[in-house]
A and B are shown apart, each in its own frame.
Chain A
Amino acid sequence: MKRFGLISVPYLWLLALFLVPFLIVLKISLSDTALAIPPYTPTLDLSQGWAGFTAWLSGLDMENFTWLTTDDLYWKAYLSSLKIATFSTILALLVGFPIAYGMSRAPDEWRPTLMMLIILPFWTSFLIRVYAWKAILSQEGLLNQLLMSLGIISEPLTILNTNTAVYIGIVYTYLPFMVLPIYSALERLDESLLEAAEDLGCSRLTAFWLVTLPLAKQGIIAGSFLVFIPAMGEFVIPSLLGGSKTLMIGKVLWEEFFSNRDWPVASAVAVVLLLILIVPIVLFQRNEEKQREAGK
């Protein structure tokens, strides 16, 4: 009984904070929009008993999901999000791996400081940091001023309100999620493994390919998912740094919800997004499990 109680805590947690909200969203996605509070029908009226329940059930339909397929805005937004999330993940990996590698090779007394530098930005509001990028990337921004004063460019670059700015924003924001798992994998790597590889005839470079990289694999996979999954649904960065042409599903969702006040369609968008993300989430979980097993 005691054991059951202990196990039930995380399950109750998941039930209350994940499954229940999801079911609410799913229900709304099957409803119709209405000029009411809440802005959709039907609503469950339990005062009429069973008849009320059947009336509520018959009022639900898949109309909103069909709607998503008729307007090409939605699937274009999904595809564009997929593309942006994928490229951001690759960029974050290219930037994050050398950082993690450098940290793991740094002298012991330096490591806490380096770790602090990676985590420190989290202590400031995410919104403020994204706004700061606006100040850096704008036409008269710090970056353009710097490049022009150095004589590298004569005309200011247009970065803000383009996809480039979105990439910069996503890579910047999610970099720690890439760096930390890779660092933790590399930090555990025993230096003598590389010496053994060299001893057996590897050059430094082949030792990196044959030993360091395979042993960092789990960290790389974990980091990539931790960047890809939230980047896929990202809304703040594209709406603040991206231009009108930047199409991301998170932005579409926000507009459906707050500009159009079409809660059912917005919910349908969210449900589809979740279905798309379930694949990488399951893969991520499996990777974690594998890692735990290998660590035994």
Chain B
Amino acid sequence: MSEAALATAPAEFAPWKDSQATPLIRFQNVTKRFGDFTAIDNLTIDIYEREFFALLGPSGCGKTTMMRMLGGFETQTEGTILIDGQDVGPIPPNKRAVNMMFQSYALFPHLSVAENIAFGLKRDKLPKDQIAARVDEMLNLVQLGKFANRKPHQISGGQRQRVALARSLAKAPKLLLLDEPLGALDKKLRQDTQFELMDIQEQTGTTFVIVTHDQEEAMTVASRIAVMDHGKIIQVDTPAKIYEEPGSVYVADFIGDVNLIEGSVTTSGDDHATISWAEGQQNLIGIAHDEIPAGTRATLAIRPEKVNIATERPAEMTNIIHGKVLDIAYLGNMSTYVIETPTGQHIKAQAANTRRIARRAITWDQDVWLSFTDTAGVVLTS
């Protein structure tokens, strides 16, 4: 009985944890060189069906090249790429069950919105009424029914973005590639569109691979994020894992705001490590899943919002840092405090502004104590 009840509960979507699941996309030791430049360096990764997979990294990290190889616009120098078990190396873009939404949207300026959406369907030589029905369906999906007969230059940027999405989804591809899909939109519209994208991905059940340099966007939409740098994937994980437990200083620094405190390891074990970092300050403890030999140089990465700030020394906290307020940045809903330790290091702490600004207890040059728990930070050796 209880088993049946369990089955109806929504299962966590995590096919990458299931050893039985077959990935939709497999990159196997893929390398891509442009002349002397290595864009993708011996990369291996599996992406599963129905995933919303984000490739995140700074420009020039190889994320766009990876996507263009999936679309068929670039061919890898070495290695194999499998889509649905098929080696796609020799298959040209027009023969792949993959569609792409281009960064520039690449809408055909001489065709109307409806004709743009119908473009791919017409190439498949579908009967006319079927094309019309599918175009209508797509227009409804992106809520652009009223604009069917407009030309791309007669609609707004956000509407163009939706036309591009509708056009790339019209052929019901197994895999949709999105190249910086929201890059051209302003912040407010971008946030709304992110949720819309997630809804559409869920509705259509299509596998989405999105390329972005915007970490917030990747965090919002993706089921998994691959953080890339210099043609390599540094870490692949869920947004929460990437944020809470970055595997390296690079990832910690790339995603969100972080304090990086360098020191040397004194003790380690039992999922934790202690580092000594500055004279006159007590040692700090953070998470470390692997044992680190004592004396190793390591970095404690701690997010500012996990750091408490108080005017008096807290009694029951494992990690305590003493310092002076150097700077306060008022962000409306919260404030960021920059604290200078006696040894000259700067550490950021964030606190929600639950009180009116006039009643704030902490001000410039004040002596303060920062504190955080032993599971708030991670000790990283690379």
Contacts and interface: CB of A to CB of B under 8 A. Distances in A.
Interface of A: 190, 192-193, 195-203, 206, 210-211, 214-215, 217, 294, 296
Contact of B153 (A193, A202, A206, A294): A294
A214 B115 CA distance: 14
A211 B108 contact: yes
Nearest to A200: B120
Interface in B54-74: 71-73
Contacts of B120: 199-201
Nearest to B96: A199
Interface in B166-185: 167-168, 171
A163 B72 CA distance: 50
Contacts of B72: 198-199
A211 B124 CA distance: 17
A196 B94 contact: no
A197 B99 contact: no
A193 B108 contact: yes
18 contacts: A190-B106, A192-B104, A192-B106, A195-B71, A195-B106, A196-B108, A198-B94, A199-B93, A199-B100, A200-B119, A200-B120, A200-B123, A200-B167, A201-B120, A202-B123, A210-B119, A215-B109, A215-B110
Nearest to B118: A200
B106 A193 contact: yes
Contacts of A192: 102-104, 106
Contacts of B103: 192
B219 to A, nearest CB: 27
Nearest to A296: B153
Contacts of A294: 109, 153
B109 A203 contact: no
A215 B109 CA distance: 8
Contacts of B110: 214-215, 217
Most A C-beta atoms less than 10 A away, residue of B73, B100, B106: B106
Interface residues of B, number: 25
Contacts of B124: 201
B73 A195 contact: yes
Contacts of A196: 100, 102, 106-108
Contacts of B107: 196
A19 B124 CA distance: 56
Contacts of B167: 200
B269 interface: no
Contact of B93 (A190, A193, A198): A198
B79 interface: no
A296 B153 CA distance: 8
A197 B119 CA distance: 8
B314 interface: no
B106 A201 contact: no
Given A192-B102, A195-B102, A196-B100, A201 B123 contact: yes
Contacts of A203: 94
Contacts of A195: 71, 73, 93, 100, 102, 106
Interface string B77-108: 00000000000000011100011101110111
A190 B152 CA distance: 14
Contacts of B71: 195, 199
A199 B175 CA distance: 12
Nearest to A215: B110
A122 B312 CA distance: 85
Q: Which 7 pairs from chain A and chain B are nearest by CB? A: A200-B120, A201-B123, A196-B106, A192-B106, A198-B93, A214-B110, A192-B102
B69 to A, nearest CB: 13
Given A196-B107, A198-B92, A199-B99, 13 more contacts: A192-B104, A195-B93, A195-B102, A197-B119, A198-B72, A198-B94, A199-B100, A199-B168, A201-B94, A201-B124, A203-B94, A211-B108, A296-B153
Contacts of A199: 71-72, 93-94, 98-100, 120, 168
Contacts of B104: 190, 192
Contacts of B119: 197, 200, 210
Contacts of A202: 94, 123
Nearest to B124: A201
A190 B107 CA distance: 10
Nearest to B104: A192
A92 B74 CA distance: 36
A97 B184 CA distance: 34
A237 B144 CA distance: 57
Contacts of B98: 199
A23 B168 CA distance: 59
A201 B173 CA distance: 12
Nearest to B73: A195
A200 B92 contact: no
Contacts of A206: 123
Interface string B115-128: 00001100110000
A7 B306 CA distance: 67
B126 to A, nearest CB: 11
Contacts of A211: 108
A201 B126 CA distance: 13
B131 to A, nearest CB: 13
A196 B163 CA distance: 13
Contacts of B102: 192, 195-196
A201 B109 contact: no
Contacts of B93: 195, 198-199
A196 B153 CA distance: 17
Contacts of A296: 153
B99 A200 contact: yes
Contacts of B106: 190, 192-193, 195-196
Contact of B171 (A197, A198, A201, A210): A201
Nearest to B98: A199
A186 to B, nearest CB: 14
A210 B108 CA distance: 10
A207 to B, nearest CB: 8
A192 B64 CA distance: 14
Contacts of A190: 104, 106
A199 B104 CA distance: 14
A15 B36 CA distance: 62
